[in-house]
Amino acid sequence: MSIFSTGVNPFRKTKVVPVFYTISDDYAKYAAVSINSLMKHADPRRYYRVIIMYDKLSLSNRWRLRNMVTHNCAIEFHKMKFNLYMQIIMRYCATKTGRGDFYSMAVYYYRAFIPRLFSQYDKAIYIDSDTILLGDIGELYDIDLGDKVISAMPDLKVAEIKIFKDYVEKALGIPYKEYVNSGVILMDLKKLRKLHYISRMTDMMKEYDDVSLVAPDQDYMNLILQGKIKFLDKNWNLPPQKDLTIDAKLIHFNLGKKPWFYDDVDCSDLFWKAARGTGFYGDLMRGKEKYSIDDMKLEEAKIAALLKKGEELSKTKKPIIEFKEK
């Protein structure tokens, strides 16, 4: 328990809902907005634990995040330790180009450590920082996984973009409707521990070290857990849109224009509303003002590079990655 941990005694409440975020300094402000929206929709009868996994997070960012604590929502920090698994991940990321720069790439893998590092929990939620809650996350936690290991939503970008669809089906050998997005995950940690999830992932990273995938962390998750995933209701991982129904629970600003940089993004009003009172509002405004044409071009180039990579890799006759059940 660090000095940043706080909140009421969890034993007085019947249900503790652990929610994990994985960030570095550049994403602290977006995570703060998501956490604020989570707290705004929290059920006063429940107790929540937001656990932030990080490697590089300044003291000032930790203080500002920690100050958001409420009577039934604790904020805790977990600094990633350098171990054998991390070593494999860092080495892997160092030689790849992809979804971000080197450090933010390693951050994508932290979620895979949750089962192993948090043995006190049998069930947990992971959510991306580019999200906004419109409903009580406790309801997501209550979903019964049955005999499945995780619950996640089939990836809409894959269904929508033909290159990604071909990539998933041909290069990974997964029917596109079964390929899920790793931005919102309900995890059965007991079952993931039994599967030795993190070792399976790092084993594959070692074996396929010479292949540069489109979304390696998410691809490996899908390969390892294929057939073990309960498909999550779409309301828990919705793309930004104009007409939201009463059932909308979570907006995910996935792989597209981010509301913190652009004006013409659906649901950006919800984002800025949730940004108020986080202690990061000024930072977010300044970030938006500073966002330049060059930044825009860089972002577009990154997406173009992903598409190009997907196109190249889907030319294969048989899947380039194969997961062997042990």
Which spans of this chain sit near Mn ion (rule: CB under 5 A)? 128, 130, 183, 254
CB of 127 to Mn ion, least distance (A): 9
At 266, list the tokens: 């659906």
Closer residue to Mn ion (CB): 130 or 217: 130
CB of 129 to Mn ion, least distance (A): 7
Residue of 101, 111, 136, 131 whose CA lies nearest to 26: 101
CB of 130 to Mn ion, least distance (A): 4
CB of 173 to Mn ion, least distance (A): 24
Closer residue to Mn ion (CB): 57 or 132: 132
Instruction: Report how far apart the first and last C-alpha atoms of the chain are (Å, whole number).
Output: 36
291-306 burial string, b = 16+ CB within 10 Å, else e?
A: eeeeeeeeeeeeeeeb
Residue of 82, 181, 62, 206 whose CA lies nearest to 126: 181
Task: Determine the residue type at 99.
Answer: R
Largest alpha-carbon pair distance within the chain?
A: 57
Q: How far apart are CA 105 and CA 99, in angstroms?
A: 6
Closer residue to Mn ion (CB): 128 or 219: 128
State how far Cα 4 lies from the chain centre.
22
Is the separation of the CB atoms in 284 and 33 below 8 Å?
A: yes
CB of 254 to Mn ion, least distance (A): 5
CB of 315 to Mn ion, least distance (A): 27
CB of 214 to Mn ion, least distance (A): 14
Task: Determine the residue type at 187.
Answer: M
Closer residue to Mn ion (CB): 131 or 314: 131
Closer residue to Mn ion (CB): 30 or 141: 30
Closer residue to Mn ion (CB): 25 or 122: 25
Compute the C-alpha angle 223/186/205, nearest 5°.
Answer: 30
Closer residue to Mn ion (CB): 88 or 153: 153
- Closest CB to Mn ion belongs to which residue? 128
**What's the Cα-to-Cα distance from 117 to each of 52, 53, 160, 185, 199, rounded to whole Å?**
13, 11, 35, 17, 13
